[in-house]
């Protein structure tokens, strides 16, 4: 029974990774850019939720929606200011810029508010339900439910809306999409907005679940979400979801075996194994690329 409980905890953690990984995979699918500043958007979302709940007295859902809205705007600003002019540049130039944006946001937040960590306000009811003999916390169920709802909404946007069709067209061939009358710049900005909104939601959920946040909190979850995106197949939305869930379960299982100090290492061991044996990821297909 304890294993079922650990599995639920792993899926809850994995759903947070999945929400962050979706931003990585959507941006890469559109403009082939690994946005390493994405973890810092996640961090900003956590702080917006913290101030909204602790300072303004908002409940969980309004704080979540506010963090998503602000992070969506921040994501668009980052794309317009830092990445738009680099679309035809080399990938290494865009990658270095992404790392620079990441450091700028981290230390900008430290300059504004200091580096001290904060304890997240307890806004969710802390109850325990017994399901088939397994004790599951209400927080885990709520986090999992919110994450699933957001992923379903994302799938609806991508597959059932006009902007979603534009995103898929730009991902397939940006120049052909432009010739067909699609506003590529607006589509890319919309992709950054959606991905950043999901990262903001993940930040609020993470803060509520783990109760501690700080300006450098986005580094490790951001890297793990990148591993999840690679695991599922970078650029493939269902792959990011599955990759995040698998990674969360693996980390929880490693901790359950008594190797909690190795839980962070487990993610990068998975990354190494994937790059060696299946570089395209679980859902990806091998493609030839001219060098």
CATH of the domain at 52: 1.10.3470
- CA atoms of 46 and 208, how far apart (whole Å): 9
Q: Is the pTM of this model over 0.85?
A: yes
- CA atoms of 91 and 130, how far apart (whole Å): 51
Does any domain span residue 289? no
Does any domain span residue 101? yes
Strand segments, DSSP code E, in 145-282 are 212-213
Residue 235's Cβ-side half-sphere holds a number of Cα atoms within 13 Å equal to: 16
Does any domain span residue 267? yes
Does any domain span residue 197? yes
Domain count, the chain: 1
Q: Is 225 buried (19+), middle (13-18) or exposed (0-12) by CB count in 10 A?
A: buried
Predicted pLDDT at 66: 97
pLDDT tens digit sequence for 233-256 = 888 888 999 999 999 999 998 988
Predicted pLDDT at 272: 92
pLDDT tens digit sequence for 11-49 = 888 999 999 999 999 999 888 888 999 999 999 999 999
- CA atoms of 230 and 193, how far apart (whole Å): 21
Does any domain span residue 272? yes
Mean pLDDT to the nearest integer, 113-122: 90
Residue 1 has pLDDT above 70, yes or no: no
Q: For residue 239, what are the domain limits?
A: 2-277
Question: Contact, 275 vs 230, CB < 8 A?
Answer: yes
Does any domain span residue 180? yes
Q: Which two tokens stand for residue 61?
A: 């859902």
């Amino acid at each position: 029974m304890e294993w079922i409980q650990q599995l639920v905890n792993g899926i809850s953690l994995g759903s947070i990774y999945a929400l962050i990984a979706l931003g990585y995979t959507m941006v890469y699918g559109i403009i082939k850019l690994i946005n390493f500043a994405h973890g810092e958007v996640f961090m900003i979302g956590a702080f917006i939720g913290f101030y909204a709940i602790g300072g303004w007295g908002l409940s969980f859902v309004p704080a979540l929606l506010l963090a998503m809205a602000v992070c969506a705007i921040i994501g668009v600003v980052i794309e317009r200011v830092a990445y738009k002019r680099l679309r035809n540049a080399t990938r290494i130039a865009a990658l270095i810029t992404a790392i620079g944006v990441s450091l700028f946001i981290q230390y900008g937040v430290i300059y504004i508010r200091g580096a001290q960590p904060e304890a997240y306000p307890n806004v969710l009811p802390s109850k325990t339900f017994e399901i088939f003999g397994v004790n599951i916390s209400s927080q885990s169920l709520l986090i999992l439910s919110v994450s699933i709802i957001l992923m379903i909404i994302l799938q609806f946007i991508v597959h059932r809306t006009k902007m979603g069709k534009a995103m898929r067209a730009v991902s397939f061939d940006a120049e052909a999409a432009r010739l067909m009358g699609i506003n590529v710049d607006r589509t890319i900005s919309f992709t950054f907005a959606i991905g950043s909104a999901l990262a903001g939601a993940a930040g609020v959920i993470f803060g509520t679940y783990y109760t501690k946040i700080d300006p450098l909190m986005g580094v490790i979850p951001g890297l793990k979400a990148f591993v999840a995106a690679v695991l599922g197949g970078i650029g493939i939305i269902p792959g990011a979801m599955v990759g995040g869930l698998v990674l969360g379960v693996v980390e929880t299982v490693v901790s359950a075996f008594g190797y909690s100090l190795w839980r962070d290492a487990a993610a990068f061991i998975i990354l190494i194994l994937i790059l060696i044996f299946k570089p395209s990821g679980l859902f990806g297909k091998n493609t030839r690329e001219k060098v």
